[in-house]
Amino acid sequence: MKLPGVREFSWREVATEARLLLIGIPVFLWTMIPIYHMFLFAISPKEDAFSGKLWPDHPTLHNFEIVFKQQHYFLRDFYVQFWNSTLIAASVGMLTLFIATAAAFSISRLKVPGGRMVLNLALFTYFIPAAFLAVPMYRTMGNYGLLNNHWALILAMVTIASPYAIWVLKQASDKLPVELDEAAVMDGATTLQIFRLVYLPLMMPSLVAIGTYAVLLAWNEYLYAFLLLSNDREITLPVALGNFLAADDSPWELLMTTGFIYALPPAAVYYAFRRYMVGGLTAGAGKS
Amino acid sequence: MAITLSGDQAIPGPPLSSRLTPAQVWGIILLAPYLLVFLAFVVYPVCYGLWLARAPENYVALYNDPIFARAAVNTLIFLVIGINIKMLIALLLSGFFAQQRTWIKWLSVIFILPWAVPSIPTILSVRFMLNPEWGVINHLIFSFTGDDGPNWLNDPTVALSMAIGVHIWKSLPFWTLILITGRLAISHDLFEAAEVDGASWWQKFRYITWPSMQTLYVTCTLLSMIWTLGDFNSVYLLTGGGPADLTHVLSTLGIRYLRLDQLSLAMASIVCAMPFVLPLVYFMMKRLSR
């Protein structure tokens, strides 16, 4: 690559690089500042956090110790709430996968009568803003006697996650060749065997993407969680974080520490499954 | 769609059950769980909600409530200004991230963080940064100028702008990612040919990038507008609708009425948004369900 006249060439390179950096550095700062600020609070004693320092004089893990030992009024049910979040996210992930895979198989492979209409209804639900559905959903859960019960949040989140899940899975299964099913039928496979032995293995990448999507959606949900659950031992972590604000002199350093701990699992899950997520999800949302 | 199906089977035949193949019976069984969820948690709540919002008095009450008018205007500002700024930035950044550089690859991994982490802790983090007494922003303003910084969230215009900023911070990575996939789908030969002809970057954008991306861009903008109507967190967690209920948007207003035990008013405020939402939804469905 070393050619004569390399100096002139590299000056142009430097100018291009500088212009890219001129965008890159603000993008980096913009992205990181709120997250760094949260991290800063988590490792700062209260005095340092409240004095606007960009790095604490005495960085400490004391805040984490308080959270993990539940040594504060707002944190007395930390482990129960963490467990609630985990359980609800896992249940939503599994139920959504079950319901959506069955529906997508039925619509796309079995060509069930009316399948197209169900798909359109699901798509319609997908476009209704979730905060609008929250109001009647709250009252409905009351009518069903499910308020303050984990099932209320699980079912609500499954309702919200399924339409998109069905749609993405349907798109993915349309791409599987029809001949596969036909060959399996020739070999005398029953519908359920096709589902289990042919369909599920081939759909694995999309299933991973959708499972991750549903789990993250449920773990991150705040509005539905605080409407449907209120008892301190039933609520999920985000609701507990919101409750910190009830006091005038909220322990913000503990709030940020708990928030940091709460934000770690979804970030880890996202990066672990990024490969699947980017392919599976943008294929759906970005279809033009 | 049901009509075409019955068209295939229009020959008057035996009763429905024996006309279905075993595969179709399984199809109905496998579709049933979703249909149940849909009936119990979408159809019933929506019908019940519409029934609650049926009385005309609700709409008179809304009309007379200055907070509702303000929320409607705020929502419009949020959608028309906020979303268009966001999508323009996403379009620009998609060009930046499409550059082949190792450090840009790494930056794109970091850039996705706001979307990957839950919004509660990060929005609350921004909220404290804006705290007039203890927040880091006003500390910095004081140390540089010796003056006290403004009380950011106490001014409705600034507070709403900040909420829009938080919304952009959170969802910009997602839309950028989608526009990047759109950009990478454009054939590279076109750019090489343009390069040979000595086209400027604006000409390349105007005559190659934009024509192949405009459908995607418009779809994304509309989709983002619909979803942003349901963005409760950005406003609620940053300003709580304050000061003096001046920064509410429709989604937080509905919840405010709900908490004041005015359920029919909450539903009515949502019904009022439907004339704007439904055409958008219809348009999106036509686009996506091809």
Residues of chain B contacting residue A146, judged by C-beta atoms under 8 Å apart: none
Those residues whose C-beta lies under 8 Å from the C-beta of residue A213, and which sit 6 or more positions away, are A161, A164, A165, A277, A280, A281
- Residue A1: pLDDT above 60? no
Q: Residue A124 is nearest to which of B215, B255, B285, comparing CB atoms?
A: B285
CATH class for domain A77-285? mainly alpha
**Token pair in block for residue B2:** 């049901």
What is the distance in angstroms between the Cα of A190 and the nearest Cα belonging to chain B?
Answer: 9
The distance in angstroms from the start CA to the end CA of chain A is 40
Fold of B66-288: MetI-like fold (1.10.3720)
A287 touches chain B (CB under 8 A): yes
Which of B17, B26, B104, B259 is most worth mutating to test chain A (most A CB atoms within 10 A of its CB)?
B26
The pair of three-digit structure tokens given for residue B14, joined into one six-digit string: 């035996």
Series of mean pLDDT values for 10-residue runs along chain B (290 residues): 40 56 86 94 92 89 91 93 96 90 91 91 92 85 84 90 95 91 85 85 87 90 89 91 88 90 90 88 79
Q: How many CA atoms lie within 13 A of A199 on its CB side?
A: 26
- Kindly state whether A128 is in contact with chain B, defined as any CB-CB distance less than 8 angstroms: yes
Instruction: Give the minimum alpha-carbon distance from B82 to chain A in angstroms, rounded to a whole number.
Output: 17
Would you state the pLDDT for residue B290? 60
Is residue A238's pLDDT more than 90?
A: yes
Q: Do B27 and A116 touch (CB under 8 A)?
A: no
- Asked if A106's CB is within 8 angstroms of B31's CB, the reply is yes
Residue-wise burial string across A121-150, b where 16 or more C-beta atoms lie within 10 A, e elsewhere: bbbbbbbbbbbbbbbbbbbbbeeeebbebb
CB within 8 Å: B288 and A132? no
pLDDT of A88 above 70: yes
- Residue B104 tokens, joined: 């840009």
Candidates B96, B232, B288; nearest CB to A287: B288
**pLDDT bracket for residue A282 (50, 70, 90):** low
What's the Cα-to-Cα distance from A199 to each of A172, A184, A188, A282, rounded to whole Å? 11, 11, 16, 22
| Among the listed residues A134, A176, A166, the one whose alpha carbon sits nearest the alpha carbon of residue A152 | A134
C-alpha count within 13 angstroms, C-beta hemisphere, residue A43: 13
Domain chopping of chain B, boundaries: 20-52, 66-288
* From-to residues of CATH 1.10.3720.10 in chain A: 77-285
Chain B residues in contact with A50 by the CB 8 A cut-off are 134
CB contact at 8 A, B59 and B272: yes
Q: Which residues contact B213 (CB under 8 A, 6 or more apart)?
A: B91, B179, B182, B183, B186
Task: Give the residue from chain B lying closest to A219, CA to CA.
Answer: B118
**Nearest beta carbon to residue B120 from set A27, A28, A259:** A259
Measured CA to CA, the distance from residue B73 to residue A211 in angstroms comes to 38
- Shortest distance between the Cα of A34 and any Cα of chain B, in A, equals 6
Q: Do A266 and B267 touch (CB under 8 A)?
A: no
CA distance B206 to B212: 10
Q: Which residue carries 């990024």 as its tokens?
A: A274
Measured on CA atoms in the order A61, A65, A71, A74, is the torsion positive or negative?
positive
The nearest alpha carbon in chain A to B252 belongs to: A131
The token pair that represents A188 in the structure block: 């005398």
- 3-state SS track over B94-148: HHHHCCCCHHHHHHHHHHCHHHHCCHHHHHHHHHHHCCCCCCHHHHHHHHHHCCC
Residues B116, A270: C-beta atoms closer than 8 Å: yes
Q: What pLDDT, on a 0 to 100 scale, did the predictor assign at position B17?
A: 54
CB-based contact A113:A231 (threshold 8 Å): no
Shortest alpha-carbon distance between residue A267 and chain B (Å): 5
Whose CA is closest to B45, among A126, A157, A103, A144?
Answer: A144
Q: Look up the ipTM and state it.
A: 0.87
Q: Global pTM?
A: 0.88
pLDDT tens-digit series, residues A148-207:
999 999 999 999 999 999 998 998 888 888 888 888 888 888 888 888 888 898 899 889
